[in-house]
Structure formats: structure tokens, C-alpha cells
Amino acid sequence: MNVGDRHYRTIWLNEDGRSVDIIDQRWLPHDFRIETVGTVDGIATAIRDMWVRGAPLIGVTAAYGMALQTLDDPSDEALDAAWEKLHETRPTAINLRWALDEMRNLLRSLPNGERAKAAYKRAAEIADEDIELNRGIGRNGLEIIRAIAAKKKPGETVNILTHCNAGWLATVDYGTATAPIYLAAAEGIPVHVYVDETRPRNQGAQLTAWEMVGHGVPHTLIVDNAGGHLMQRGAVDMVIVGTDRTTADGDVCNKIGTYLKALAARDNDVPFYVALPSPTIDWTVGDGLKEIPIEERSGDEVSLVWGKTASGEIAQVRVSPEGTTAGNPAFDVTPARLVTGLITERGVAKASREGLRELFPERRG
Ligand SMILES: CSC[C@H]1O[C@H](OP(=O)(O)O)[C@H](O)[C@@H]1O
């Protein structure tokens, strides 16, 4: 998407033809920094420490990590070691495993001498495919926003609540949950977005809000606990979020706090949609609550908050006593029964095994 008057993806091949350049999201919205990463270890660090984050972007970044490995040692053993190193960075987003498997399965089928060229080609394809998947999500989600707008008085605003950042910063471009919002805004539908700040890392306050400002989408930053209150008062027409892993039965794993939004939405008859590209579907898992590993991140992310001081310095401050231990589960699971629909690149599916197989018949059986 555009940053100022220049178009950016979140990740791109460096002119050296081997490293990748990334937007280092840790410093947004206060500083726009590009980092060049040229080793598998560097890719692992960038994912683990959330220089890049968001399920689809994590997958693409890992794909380039496998490509980098082929330049140093393309052997099966070295690829296996790289697979393990990258896979262990973050356990929840299925796109990571999906992309690593895509790359390793391809490369194992080739002679060592052909692996580097094929790896970079495939990694670039996965990045381009992500954009096309998100365009499809945008088109399909736009129909929902159009239908809501049609029931309102002419010019009346469609109020959408979103949690965390499932925007273009979570993907290569366009985003998943934000793709329909950007298309709706572009065609003149009056949309307004309630942006959950999304503690503890504030992906909403720091990233989604930055995206909304950058694209002129009217929005209001709210604390995570305000969503239910707003829904009770009819201030929210729909909720749309992303996901890091959705099961074959339609259970949705997403940023911590999503489940609570889904409960409030159900209690107030607010449609609750999840936007996802098909690589985010884990066809091997049915019961999300039982089977999806939930990443536990450092409690320091809860106790320490990044921000910009009055003097313009980007710094961390402690918000809790030194002696307090903080828990930090990074995701939760929203049962399919609370999900109105799954907005995929192929259409909107009911959040169920049958609903997903209507759109993905090749997954039957
Ligand atoms: C389009 S996937 C976005 C998804 O990823 C975020 O998690 P994190 O920032 O920890 O990588 C969050 O769950 C978003 O919904």
C-alpha cells in the first residue's frame, strides 16, 4: 500500500538478489524503518521478535528464509535444519508451517544445483499469491459491507470494529480484514472503523491506526474493553478480524481478545466475520480449542510499553511493579458457532466443515 506517495509491500527482494528488505514494524507508527535481512538466523529473529508479524507475512518471510538457506547449503539436511529453526519461531500461525512445507517439498524434488533458483522463484510466487488472495477477500468482503450500507439511510456510516492488525502490514499487501474496508472506502461507501488498541503489543493502536491514517479511512482508536459497550449501544454494524489459524471445522484462532469480541457480538446480534486466505486454514485440525498451540510470549510485553516521549524519543516504560509477574497468551480460539462467516478468496463460507468444503471441494473426504 502507499506510504506517502510511494507504494510499498511489507517485504521485497533486495537488489542483491538474495537478501530481503522488510518494514520493521516494531518502530511504527513513530518511525518507518527498512531492515535488510540476509541470513536464516536473521529471518528467524525477524519473525520471533516481530519485526514482521501477521500470519501471511510470517509465511512469506519464512519462505525467503528457506531460499536463503539454499544459497549457503541446499542439502536436504540443511533444509531440514532451516525448517526447524524457522518453524520454532512462532507456533500458532499455520501459514508459517504451510510456507515451510511448500518450500521444502518443492526443493526436495530438485537436484541441489537447481534449488536456489527454484526457491527464490517460489518465494516470490507465494508473495504474489498472497496479494491476489487478499484482493479476492476484499471483493468478497466488500459485498457484505455493501449489503449493510444498503440497509442504511443514504450517506449513513457503516461502523466496523476490528481487532489487532490484519491489515496490509500483516500480509504482503492489502491485508485480510482491511481489504474489504479499503475497497469500500475507495468506492465511496461511508465507513468508519473502531480500532481496538490490542494489548499488549498494541498492533491496533500502532499499526492498524497508522494504516487508517495513511489511507484516510475515518477511525476511532478504542481500548480493547470498549467493544462490548459499543455493540450494546448499536454503534457497531459488523466486526471483521483476521486469523492466524482456522480449523477445518471453522474454529478461529486469532489475537488474544478476539473471543471476547465474538461473545459480545453474538450477545448483541452484531455480525462477526473472519477474513482469511486459504493457506490460513489448517485442514488437519478440527477442534481449535484442543489442538491449536497458543503462543505464550514474554510477560515483559505486558509490563513494558513502547511509545514516543515528549522529547520525541521512542522508549519503553514500565506500567506494573517490578515484582509483578505478567502472563501473556498471544492468541485465543473463537468457536465456529460464534462466527457469522469466513471471508475467503473464493467466497464467504459458513464457519463449518460443510461450509468450508462447499468452497474447497478438493478438501472433501
Ligand atoms: C492476517 S493475519 C493477522 C493476525 O496476526 C496477528 O498476530 P501477530 O501480530 O501476533 O502476528 C493477529 O492475530 C492478526 O489478526
Asked whether 91 lines ligand 1 (CB < 6 A), one says no
CB 30: neighbour CB atoms within 10 A? 14
Residue 27 Cα to ligand 1 middle (Å):
17
Residue ID of nearest Cα to ligand 1 atom 15: 242
Catalytic residue among 244, 251, 282, 332: 244
Does ligand 1 lie within 6 Å of residue 244's CB atom? yes
The pLDDT, as a whole number, for residue 3 is 85
Report the predicted TM-score, pTM, of the whole model to 2 decimal places.
Answer: 0.97
**Domains along the chain with CATH numbers:** 2-129 (1.20.120.420), 139-363 (3.40.50.10470)
Q: Is residue 204 within 6 Å of ligand 1 at its C-beta?
A: no
The whole-number mean pLDDT for each consecutive block of 10 residues of the chain, a chain of 365 residues, reads 89 97 97 97 98 98 98 98 98 96 98 98 98 98 98 95 98 97 97 98 98 97 98 98 98 98 98 97 96 97 96 95 96 98 98 97 88
Question: What does the pLDDT read at residue 213?
Answer: 97
Query: Ligand 1: does its nearest atom lie under 6 Å from the Cβ of 246?
Result: no
Residue 61 parent element (H or E): helix 55-72
**pLDDT of the residue at 152:** 95
Using CA atoms of 7, 131, 23, 40 in order, give the dihedral in degrees to the nearest 10.
-140
Annotation-wise, does 350 bind a ligand? Answer: no
Atom of ligand 1 minimally distant from the CA of 331? 13
State whether the beta carbon of 164 lies less than 6 angstroms from ligand 1. Answer: yes
ipTM over 0.90: yes
Dig out the grid coordinates for 302 from the structure: 505486558
Instruction: From 254, 294, 331, give the residue whose CB has the most ligand 1 atoms within 8 Å, as the site to mutate.
Output: 254
The pLDDT value recorded for residue 4 is 84
For the chain, what is the total number of helices (H) and then of strands (E)? 13, 18
CA–CA gap between residue 178 and residue 228 (Å, rounded): 21
Distance 191 CA to ligand 1 centre (A): 22
**What is residue 5's predicted lDDT score, i.e. its pLDDT?**
87
- Sheet with 34-37, strands from edge to edge, namely 11-13, 20-23, 34-37
The answer to whether the CB of 56 is under 6 A from ligand 1 is: yes
Note the pLDDT of residue 159.
98
Q: Give the per-residue pLDDT at 51.
A: 98
Residue 50 CA, closest ligand 1 atom number = 11
Instruction: Respond yes or no: is residue 244 known to be catalytic.
Output: yes
